[in-house]
Amino acid sequence: MQWEQVKDWLSAARSIAVLTGAGISAESGIPTFRGEGGLWRNFRAEDLATPQAFARDPLLVWEWYAWRRELIARAEPNPGHLALAALEPRIPEFHLITQNVDGLHDRAGSRAILKIHGDLWDLRCTRCQRQWTDRSVPLVELPPRCECGSIARPGVVWFGEGLPPCVWEQARRAASGCQLLLVVGTSAVVYPAAGLAPLAKSAGAKVVEVNVGDTPLSDLADVTLRGPASEILPVVCG
């Protein structure tokens, strides 16, 4: 019954926003941010993804990001990513807000993407601030350098940094102006992204959560669908 209700809402809505988190990419084999192990089992992600860590040891930080890039390069968009990409052209006003930096939504074919935490495949010069995309794996050199000769950093948002103001404002407008907000695979504990669902709800939107387990958002959502996004989204978005 809940699945049919969500399908009806998606069919009727002219304005839809989607918020995705690490859970949807975990189904493509990408470890969640706090669950990464292997080569980096003796490091906490929170100790590497900071401006302070980069200033202290840029090579160490880049070795970790190079490892992550190699993991992601081997992954493929799953049916959840593909279902959202197929939904986009059918909705007059559609925004995909993602906390993920892996680029799998792009590879699935999504276009209206708001990357509030940046993009792992982007590099930004620490001196002249030039930003460019480099999908080469492995990178030619570590740390990579800008054409001006200065070290580049990953084009992602680190702990202690603010979100890109323009992108975040677009995400806020999308959430506050949509008729339906679909929240997929996010723990709903990382702010300010976790505040988008209450914002949408207070503006009158229906909120639908897709997740394998309970989150702080579950009680707020109008409907919660339990299970993998790769199984649920192709059904409700189809």
Task: Single out the residue of 205, 155, 194, 183 nearest to residue 84, CA to CA.
Answer: 183
Distance, in Å, from the CA atom of 163 to the CA atom of 148, rounded to the nearest integer, reads 26
Which of 81, 95, 105, 117 is an active site residue? 117
Question: Is 117 designated active site?
Answer: yes
Please, are residues 24 and 77 in contact by the beta-carbon 8 Å criterion? Answer: no
Which backbone phi and psi does 237 adopt, to 5 degrees? -90, -10
Q: Which residues of 176-210 are buried (b: 16+ CB within 10 A; e: fewer)?
A: bebbbbbbbbbbbeeeebbebbebbbeeebbbbbb
Which residues form the catalytic set?
117
